[in-house]
Structure 1
Amino acid sequence: MANGVSARRYSAVAILLHWASALAVLVLIGLGLTMTHATLAPLRQFQLYQWHKSVGVTVLALTALRVLWRLTHRPPPHPAGMPARERRAAAAAHHLLYLLLVGLPLTGWAVVSLSPFNIPTVLYGIVPWPHLPLAGLVPDPGAAEGLLKRVHALGAWFLAALLAVHVAAALRHHLLLRDDVLRRMLPGRSTSITPTVEPTR
């Protein structure tokens, strides 16, 4: 049986995957803003696009691992006394995050695959990455590419907003409610664990 601390903390693997994903997403957002809004030399812009694609595939792989881990390892329970509506909101936000962390890399991959330039993707300059065979499946690849570009861009802004809400909610729990919602996802061993209220029998 797990001890009192580990039963209320995420596992080391879950914590590692969470923070690796968070870092990768922040890098993705930074690369995306820079490569699409900054005035760059063509070679520099090309390099940033390659890095953006590489990190995007990494996020997709990390998300797949997180989903598999979540399906096979039960997360710690919510804090005792957390209102049902907050639990539902937290669950909905997490589902949306996972949806975006899968959908955005896939739409980006589709955009690259539909591009008339047919630029190869080489992950981190080492691993060749294939294009999706989409060009022959849509009547107008150019229109499909344009639509997916807009979906990808809007989804990225929505992800950034959702991450801001996610961080704000974690800080609210930590600073105002003073529970362990944030601490249980931090690396290291927590030294302040709020007792879990067991249901009466």
Structure 2
Amino acid sequence: MSRINRDRWGGVSQALHWLVAIGILGIAALGLIMTDLPRSPRWFWVYDLHKSLGLTVLALMVVRLAWRLYAGAPPDVPMPTWQHRLASISHWLLYLFAFAMPLSGWLYDSASGLRPLRWFGLAEVPKLVAPDPTLRSIALAVHEYGFWILAGLVLVHAGAALWHHFVLRDVTLARMLPRALIDAPTPKDRSP
């Protein structure tokens, strides 16, 4: 398994990117619907799923950051300096909030003194702190407001990737897609 790819993100980086993206989208969908559910066994199941997925994304983000530090990144796509700076800032903000969301949720769960959380029902997750109403309120605020910031960052990130792909027609997005998708023939390339 090669650490460095000269012109594109490697397979491990791509897999981690898309797993985290799918995880964040799933957690966001659950988070938006679960607050409207009536308290029932299904309510607890949805909350536990939301928390378990959040901890999974946290673990994937740790692996992703470690892999990024180990494997590095391909060279930047040529673009104006201001675009490089904005891309760098937005990427690091995405990393920050992708860590902040599950950590603030875990801290909120811990400070709430709720029943023990079992990761997908398999293993009990340790509490980070003892019950603390003040810390609970702070963690909840970070979690709720952080969600909207992360959602905005994800939209900007995806919009920029699509803009580079369809408007600028550069390789920014293609470098994060599996080569099989890039090299797949389009319907017009196939002979009848």
Q: How many residues align?
A: 180
**Cα shift at 1:74:** 1.9
Which residue of structure 1 aligns with residue 118 of structure 2? 122
Instruction: Establish whether residue 179 from structure 1 lines up as the match of residue 175 from structure 2.
Output: no
Sequence identity of aligned pairs in percent? 39
Q: CA deviation at 1:143?
A: 2.1
Q: Which residue of 2 aligns with 1:166?
A: 157
Distance 1:148 1:12 in 2: 35
User: Which protein has the bigger helix share?
Assistant: 2
Structure 1 residue 41: Cα displacement: 4.1
Does residue 67 in structure 1 map to residue 65 in structure 2?
yes
Letter in 2 for 1:72: Y
CA distance in 1, matches of 2:73, 2:155: 22
Shift of 1:191: 4.0
Match of 2:92 in 1: 95
1:54 aligns with 2:52: yes
The alignment's TM-score, normalised by the length of structure 1, stands at 0.85
8 Å Cα contact 1:100-1:159 kept in structure 2: yes
Code of the residue aligned with 1:121 in structure 2: it is L
For 1:18 and 1:58, how far apart are their aligned partners in 2?
14
Deviations 1:63-103 (A, max 9, x none): 101111111112111222x0001001000001001101111
**Structure 2 counterparts to residues 13-32 of structure 1, below 5 A:** 13-32=12-31
Extract unaligned runs of 5+ from structure 1.
136-140, 193-201
Letter in 2 for 1:25: I
The question of whether the paired residues in 2 share the 8 Å contact of 1:110 and 1:134 is answered with: no
Structure 1 consecutive aligned stretches of length 4 or more whose deviation exceeds 6 Å: none
